[in-house]
Amino acid sequence: MHASKHTHNFVDQYEGLVGFGLDRETDEKSLMVYLQKFSDDALMSRIIPRMSELEISDLFEVLSRLLKAHLNEEEYHGLFLKDMEPHRSDPTAQH
């Protein structure tokens, strides 16, 4: 078995408040907790089959829009795709 390229350590290590609206720092940390909990394999395998086509499409579009808005091409390939070498023929390489 190979070592995972993906990490979800924050959710297991964070011991602070999880809530929104107090301050930017707490909001950011809370979002990290929520997103890491949301992306858990067991939860994904349960919730995705229950989602409508519109919900799947909407979530994909939101995530794609955020990646495009906040990552340059090198960051997109290194941090999201876990591929340090951008592929120019890849249609998603526009990030």
Q: What was the pLDDT predicted at 7?
A: 83
Helix %, strand %, coil % for the chain, to 5? 60, 0, 40
Domain coordinates in residue numbering, the chain: 1-50, 52-95
Q: Are the CB atoms for 68 and 91 separated by under 8 Å?
A: no
- CA dist 95 and 75 (Å) reads 9
Q: What is the pTM of this model?
A: 0.77
- With a CB cutoff of 8 Å and minimum separation 6, the contacts of 77 are 83, 84, 85, 86, 93
Residue with tokens 């990646």: 67
pLDDT of residue 95: 46
Mean pLDDT, to the nearest integer, of 14-41? 97
Q: Would you state the pLDDT for residue 4?
A: 77
